[in-house]
Amino acid sequence: MSFAAETKKELTQLTSDAAASRFELMAILALGAVFKTFDGRSELAIETENVATARRIYTSLKDLCHVRPEVVVRKKMRLKKNHVYTVRLPRVQAEAVLSDLGYHGSYEEGPLSAAWDLPPVDEWRRAFLRGAFLAGGSVNAPGSSSYHLEIYAPSRDLAHWVHELMNAYELHARMTNRKKGYIVYIKEVEKIVDFLNIIGAVRALLQFEDRRILKGMRNQVNRLVNCETANMNKTISAAVRQLEHIRWIEQTIGLDSLPEHLREVADIRLRHPEANLQELSKLLNGRVTKSGLNHRFRKLEEIALQHRDRSNIGQRTVNDSSDLV
């Protein structure tokens, strides 16, 4: 079962009072119902591939509107060959149900119009958005490469209606056309979590949060590893450079020519080439801080470079004299 299907199943297990349930059903019918003609009879039909949603629609119509719809099951012949559940109501019953739910649009064949009374209470708005998701919603699983939640609407007016309701909760929802209709969608993971909270999908919300925490921990570990690697590379580069200068001094003027405080750090670097400054400081019993060690290594570098320059000048002088002979 997909994450979206699991989320819808969770939503169908929620209980709410009659008023909120009516607005949930209103949204399902507004976004999912169409008037069609079957065998010469005009009926209202709501199709879904989610069995839990089909059961919710049937139960809501029976309990809230006191009608007994027909449920037809067929198998898709393309792609995944999923079952499609169609909940049907005869036109006469459908018109009575729609009128009772506050619909005052036309009853022509095709999708319903956006002629509904908007829910005035927060709890009812949440119920409406829950129904909208049950009717036309989809959401990527938390581990997907990109975050995406959408609700499909068959017309621009209905999509705009859903868009306005979602953004009343500052969800940063956007709207675009899609095939034969429109979608209202959210890309920001924080806003997807907020939406799941609004419609009552707590288990789905927690899965998102768990994945976000895990991803955040992995990113933090990666940052620490990268930082540690960068620091290690800097330590190695610095140690190699220091060793080059010390060995140059050792092979030219000798370490004994150095002042005692410089000879001390040169000696400990030679004995511990892999150590960082903090480790060297500990080896010196903390008598020399990292800053102090840095200063002394810079002095050793200056001495090595000075003697190299003098050596190069002397070498050039010898070469120049040879040219004159």
**Which tops the pLDDT comparison, 173 or 37?**
173
Q: What is the CATH number of the domain that holds 11?
A: 3.10.28.10
Q: What is the pLDDT of residue 318?
A: 38
Does residue 69 sit in the same domain as residue 127? yes
Query: 159 and 33, same structural domain?
Result: yes
Q: Is residue 192 part of a domain?
A: yes
Structure tokens at 227: 């930082």
Q: Would 206 be classed as within a structural domain?
A: no
Label residue 323 by pLDDT band (50, 70, 90): very low
> Do 141 and 231 fall into the same domain?
no
Domain match, 93 and 168 both: yes
Q: What is the mean pLDDT of residues 286-293?
A: 90
Report, as an integer, the average pLDDT of 105-117. Answer: 85
Q: Give the residue among 204, 186, 68, 85 at the shortest CA–CA distance from 142.
A: 204
208 within a domain of the structure (yes/no): no
Lowest mean pLDDT among 130-134, 143-147, 178-182: 143-147
Q: Which residues pair with 177 in a beta bridge?
A: 182
Q: Are residues 115 and 91 in the same domain?
A: yes
Asked if residue 161 and residue 252 are part of one domain, the reply reads: no
Indicate whether 87 belongs to any domain. yes
- Looking at the fold, whether 188 and 231 belong to one and the same domain comes out as no
Q: Name the domain count of the chain.
A: 2
Residue pLDDT, tens place only, 239-267: 888 888 888 888 888 888 889 999 999 99
| Res. 237: pLDDT tops 90 | no
Residues 175 and 306 in one domain: no
- Give CA–CA dist 210/188, Å, rounded: 16
Q: Bigger pLDDT: 7 or 39?
A: 7
| Phi, psi of 51, rounded to the nearest 5 degrees | -65, -35
- Asked if residue 53 is part of any domain, the answer here is yes
> Is the pLDDT at 325 greater than 60, yes or no?
no
pLDDT for the residue numbered 311:
61
Instruction: Take residue 236 and report the two structure tokens written for it.
Output: 């190695």
Q: Which domain, by its residues, includes 9?
A: 3-200
Strand 181-186 versus strand 41-48 pairing type:
unpaired
Strands (E), 82-237: 83-90, 110-111, 137-139, 149-153, 174-178, 181-186
Report the pLDDT value the prediction gives residue 324, as an integer from 0 to 100: 30
Residue at 279: amino acid letter: E
List pLDDT tens digits, range 194-221: 999 999 999 898 888 777 777 767 777 7
Whole-Å CA distances, 74 to 4, 57, 86, 115, 143: 21, 17, 8, 31, 32
**pLDDT score of 210:** 79
State the pLDDT at residue 319: 46
In this structure, what are the phi and psi dihedrals at residue 79, rounded to the nearest 5 degrees?
Answer: 50, -115
Query: 124: how many CB neighbours lie within 10 A of its CB?
Result: 20
> Could you say which of 174, 200, 226 is where a domain stops?
200
Q: What is the mean pLDDT of residues 57-85?
A: 86
Which pLDDT score, from 0 to 100, does residue 222 have? Answer: 79
Strands (E), the chain: 33-38, 41-48, 70-75, 83-90, 110-111, 137-139, 149-153, 174-178, 181-186
Task: Indicate the average pLDDT of the chain.
Answer: 86
